[in-house]
Copies of this chain bind each other. A is one copy, B any other.
């Protein structure tokens, strides 16, 4: 019953179209160092389609051409942020004729294994590396093995191949919203220190707080997890002596916001009546929290597409460079923010 029980090969297409392997290869790869009659070209394409021909990736790779595959390395897939980035990358890669593979490297634990499996075994042409931390083991490996790659989300200093978002503007967006509601003491739950987007966001927060003339701008750091958010929130909710109590919090991730919600509730405070909360990054679950969480949505999908564009450009020989995706953050208003001291919703 098998319609195509066995893969069609290049030679099958060639025979069927009445031309040589070389011609088929050149036609299908759209090379113009060859002149072919339009009708021949046409026939080759038709036969290839009819046979469902797909070049064997290994054979291509062997023959010196590329594998037409990329890999996206993310630190943790249970962070849905990376899922969105990955979708953007996958889609754009496909448009460019590449396949984007997804690999999780658990903050560098298995980075070298992954590198060996994917790069050394010749499965991919290049690497998209999301959120590499400083001293990530891969950085050294990459310096020894010249493989096209870009860093995304977290910049690697001086690499000259970073693809990032305008995280500073996300702080500005969140602050403007809270300030407009009347908040004057706003706290920020930052990510771990030493990580670029985390520090950029925090610095922008402090800078813009100052320019808004806010009374105080306390910051606490924590992992991008629920736990990190909860711990940092407790810290910010317990002001140092003589300091004013915060009336709003702005977190660096959605998970942190969820942790913060829990901490706020444990303190017997209400959201948004007593404390307003703005999270970073938007996901469906935000709408179903109690109260629904107001967030600053970042252009994660675009980050993925931009990273692929940059990597493919590098693979094709263009020199790499830093890129910032142009789309600006977007405030998604839900129920977790209100005027300070108000008894009602915003």
Contacts and interface: CB of A to CB of B under 8 A. Distances in A.
Given A83-B77, A226-B285, A285-B258, A57 B122 contact: yes
A283 interface: yes
A259 B258 CA distance: 15
Contacts of A55: 121
Interface in A85-126: 86-87, 90, 94, 99, 101-104, 113, 116-118, 120-123
Interface of A: 1-5, 7, 52, 54-62, 67, 69, 77-78, 80, 83-84, 86-87, 90, 94, 99, 101-104, 113, 116-118, 120-123, 143-146, 225-227, 230, 255, 258-259, 261-262, 265, 283-285, 287-290
A241 B60 CA distance: 68
Contacts of A284: 78, 225-227
Contacts of A255: 285
Contacts of A123: 57-58, 69, 99, 123
Contacts of A118: 99
A226 B288 contact: yes
Given A225-B284, A258-B289, 4 more contacts: A57-B58, A58-B67, A262-B289, A290-B290
Given A58-B67, A67-B58, A3 B144 contact: yes
26 contacts: A2-B144, A2-B145, A2-B146, A5-B145, A7-B120, A52-B116, A52-B120, A54-B120, A55-B121, A56-B122, A57-B121, A57-B123, A58-B62, A58-B122, A59-B62, A69-B123, A86-B104, A94-B113, A99-B117, A99-B118, A101-B101, A226-B284, A227-B284, A258-B289, A262-B288, A265-B290
